A and B are shown apart, each in its own frame.
Chain A
Amino acid sequence: MNGTAQDTVRDYLAELRYELADLPAAEIEDVILDVTPQLTEIAEDGESIAARLGTPEEYAAELRGAAGLSTVEPQRGSLGARFAVWTLAVCAVAAGYGGFLNEQLVSNDARFVLPAFAALLVVSWFVVGRTTRAVPEVAALTEVRLLGALRPRTDLTRRVRDYLVSLQPGWFLLRAGLAGFGTMLVCRQIGWYPSTPELAALLVAAAALAVGYRSRADRRWLWLSVPAGGWAIGVAVDLLARLPLLFADVTGYSGVPLF
């Protein structure tokens, strides 16, 4: 099989796996083994798999229907799912604001509010913890399906998506660094014992990296990964805002030397 055909098959199978992610792993592997010979033949003929067989979403739906396998239930638990997804969105923004404030958090009124958001986030973990890897209850929500409609359908948008996905490991690393750095600034401001801030920074960076990778196969980790991303972006915005100060020959605006 040539490289392009291999890529085409791999991409289609990856999306199919995602669509079937709530099934037992052994069942998914059996299905993949069944369908691969035909997908390979179509790809080797230079044809589009989606044009012949439908999108992975449609293919998975037809397969589930014929196999009598569990289908995504749109109604069940959707109140909890709605709570979880909106909590995630709000907490990501709150984490972004927290990251933007970073060392000022210690003196800012936000220090009273942000823990409340954190508590909400913890509650949402219990909601998503009860569901499966692909969080079908959340995927069935109208607001999430509307987002899903933006999924790439054409070759060009797929290529853009693939390019962005290829940047993901780099983003995870950058994000880990930023999240850790922001944590260090906060801990220093609290005035913890020397080297504790650095240790906290390393722990947060490692955790941010780990949850990022885990969330790719298990969407439930997004409930940690997305706030971590928000925090990192907030820190990045603050650092960018401080850049001009580097050239102005002054220390950070809170009186703490920047680096």
Chain B
Amino acid sequence: MEISQLLKGVLDLAVLAVLRDEDGYGYEVLRRLRGAGLEAVGDASVYGTLRRLYNAGALVSYVEPSEEGPHRKYYQLNDVGRKQLAESGQTWREFAATMNDLVGGNA
């Protein structure tokens, strides 16, 4: 099964999750996702997802200058984002458990 197809439905949750403990700028979020094992995640999809979550009011942003290169725009979870993370996380755990039961039973 194509991981990238599965990712489409859960990228929001994945992005919220990597921002839970620490704010991050776009490229950093992408690297955290890849580092966590989501190798197949599309570059532009991550930036697009950040913009969607931001426009939906789940994230706030602030710009910080960087000594190494261009300015970085950091994203931070706010209360709306934290609530969405909790709810989506719960949905995901139930869904994953159901799928595990289903698939595990046939293995």
Contacts and interface: CB of A to CB of B under 8 A. Distances in A.
A33 B48 contact: no
Interface of B: 11, 25-27, 30, 42-52, 54-55, 61, 63, 66, 69-73
12 contacts: A1-B69, A30-B54, A33-B73, A34-B25, A34-B47, A52-B43, A63-B44, A63-B48, A66-B11, A66-B51, A69-B51, A69-B52
Interface of A: 1, 27, 30-31, 33-38, 40-41, 52-54, 59-60, 62-69
Contact of B26 (A27, A34, A60, A64): A34
A37 B70 contact: yes
B87 to A, nearest CB: 19
Interface residues of chain B: helix, strand, loop or mixed (majority): helix
Contacts, number: 81
A31 B47 contact: yes
Given A30-B73, A33-B73, A35-B26, A66 B63 contact: no
Interface residues of chain A: helix, strand, loop or mixed (majority): helix
A63 B73 contact: no
Contacts of A60: 44
B57 to A, nearest CB: 13
Residue from B26, B44, B51, B55 having most chain A Cβ neighbours under 10 A: B44
A41 B52 CA distance: 24
Residue from B52, B61, B69, B72 having most chain A Cβ neighbours under 10 A: B69
Contacts of B45: 62-63, 65-66
A53 B51 contact: no
Residue from B25, B43, B48, B71 having most chain A Cβ neighbours under 10 A: B48
A216 B18 CA distance: 40
A66 B70 contact: no
Contacts of B48: 62-69
Nearest to A67: B48
A38 B51 CA distance: 16
B73 A68 contact: no
Contacts of B43: 38, 52-53, 59, 62
Contact of A38 (B26, B42, B52): B26
B44 A34 contact: no
Given A66-B11, A67-B52, A69-B51, A34 B42 contact: no
A236 B68 CA distance: 51
A28 B54 CA distance: 14
Given A66-B11, A67-B52, A36 B47 contact: no
Contacts of B52: 66-69
A137 to B, nearest CB: 23
A59 B43 CA distance: 8
Nearest to B51: A67
A27 B69 contact: no
